Amino acid sequence: MKITISKENYLKAIAEAESEGEAVIAATLARWLNVSAPAVTMAIKRLKRDSLIRVSRDGQISLAPAGRDIANRLLTRHYLIERMLTEVFGMEWYKVHDEAEQLEHAVSSDFERRLLEKLGTNVACPHGNRVEGDTPQDRRNLGWKPLDEAPSEAEAIVVSVFERDRRLLEYLNGLGIHPGAAVTIMSANYDDTLTLRIQGKPVQLGKSAAAKVWVELSPASGAPKLENPASENARSCPEALLPG
């Protein structure tokens, strides 16, 4: 069985959509990968034929063990490449996802092993995300919540940002919102925006964008204090790689 780049992309997309709490159906993959419905239908047939996915009677798609192994390998490589680009080459955090999407398919097992030896896996990626165990429920279990759910006057630290939207990442970067940034929620407004204070300045952010930013509330804001190494990882991004 030949594993093509297209198959890898579909398998990784299924795993990523699952990690965002989405029920994966054909339409999910069409939106996630920006491809046509007929293309998804053909891909599903090939993946099912190769015993890489399972499709339920109601159309829900899940990864078979062999497909899960391939997806996890791609996710690990993607994570390592993102960290290599920021920590070794100093690339801006909001650019590295797109680069890793291309490079992850070309990484050999030997190079992956060397990246693992050099970088390890105990630090979050530049967007604050982890390789495994990163569903919305996992994040809530750590005491995190989406920024649009944070109460007014709360103080918080940004710990994770949705990374598959380059325009969103560039927009947030321009506002000073990135993993490790301190944010104060000043108010939730009638026009579906939030007024935030970042580095002493007021900033407006739409709730749809805020929903893709996960934060950890400070204990002073009423959040329970948890033993949370993941949030420490988000705050440990090298300062040279983040906007001032």
Q: Render pLDDT for 109-138 as a digit per residue (tens, 0 to 9).
A: 999 999 999 999 889 999 999 887 678 998
Residue 57, domain CATH:
1.10.10.10
The residue from 63, 79, 110 where one domain ends is 63
The predicted model gives 196-213 an average pLDDT of 96
- Residue 223 pLDDT: 57
Contact at 8 Å (CB) between 160 and 127? yes
Contact at 8 Å (CB) between 139 and 234? no
**Residue 122: inside a domain, yes or no?**
no
How far is it between the farthest Cα atoms of the chain?
57
Supply 36's token pair: 């046509």
> How many domains does the structure of the chain reveal?
2
Do residues 227 and 140 both lie within one domain? yes
In 3D space, the residue among 38, 37, 50, 56 whose CA is nearest the CA of residue 11 turns out to be 50
Do residues 152 and 237 both lie within one domain? yes
**Residue 201: inside a domain, yes or no?**
yes
pTM for the model stands at: 0.85
What residue numbers bound the domain in which 155 lies? 136-241
Mean pLDDT over each residue of the chain, to the nearest integer: 90
Helix (H) or strand (E) segment spanning residue 198 = strand 193-198
- Residue 134 pLDDT: 78
**Residue 70: inside a domain, yes or no?**
no
The residue from 20, 48, 63 where one domain ends is 63
Distance CA 174, CA 181 (A): 12
* Amino acid at site 199: Q
